[in-house]
Amino acid sequence: MDTLTLVEKAITTGAAFIGEKVVSEAVKDAYSRLKISLMNRLGKAETEAIQRTLPDETPEQWAKRVAELLRIKRADQDEAVVQNASEFLALLDKTHSISGKYNVSVEGGVKSLIQAEGSNINIRFGSRENDE
């Protein structure tokens, strides 16, 4: 994913999850670091403005407004912003994998099960003529 999309996703995801009780202090701290790096890049008023929706603004309109401001201010080119966004999303994903984001139910004669995100796994059952 490109850096602009990464930063955008971190902000919009953070706004949705940061008030949740399942979010750990480490995740909240990571989001705070992201907000501080955004303040350094955008300024306090603009950072606060993108953290809240306007009256009658849908979540989609809000996300579009956030994306546009990030693009204009080139927030995706700020190393601290990108690093903090990446760390926040990684911590949030770890929290959700522990808290049940990934819920797998298996029935029948399953020979193999791999549960992963962002992995590349090759599985081969049986043998081919050229294999020993």
65-82 pLDDT, tens digit each: 888 888 888 988 999 999
pLDDT tens figures, 93-124: 776 654 445 455 566 666 666 655 555 666 66
pTM of this structure: 0.64
Q: How far apart are CA 69 and CA 57, in angstroms?
A: 16
The answer to whether the CB of 35 falls within 8 A of the CB of 47 is yes
Name the maximum alpha-carbon separation found in the chain: 68
Q: Find the angle CA(107)-CA(110)-CA(111) to the nearest 5 degrees.
A: 170
Q: Is the pLDDT of residue 1 over 90?
A: no
DSSP state of 130: T
Are 95 and 22 a contacting pair, CB within 8 Å? yes
Task: List, as one string, the DSSP characters of 15-76.
Answer: HHHTT-TTS-HHHHHHHHHHHHHHHHHH-HHHHHHHTSPPTT--HHHHHHHHHHHHHHTTGG
pLDDT digits (tens, 9 = 90+) for 3-49: 888 888 888 888 777 666 666 788 888 988 998 998 888 888 887 77
Query: For residue 98, what pLDDT is reported?
Result: 47
**Which amino acid appears at position 25 of this protein?**
E
Distance (Å, whole) CA 91 – CA 112? 28
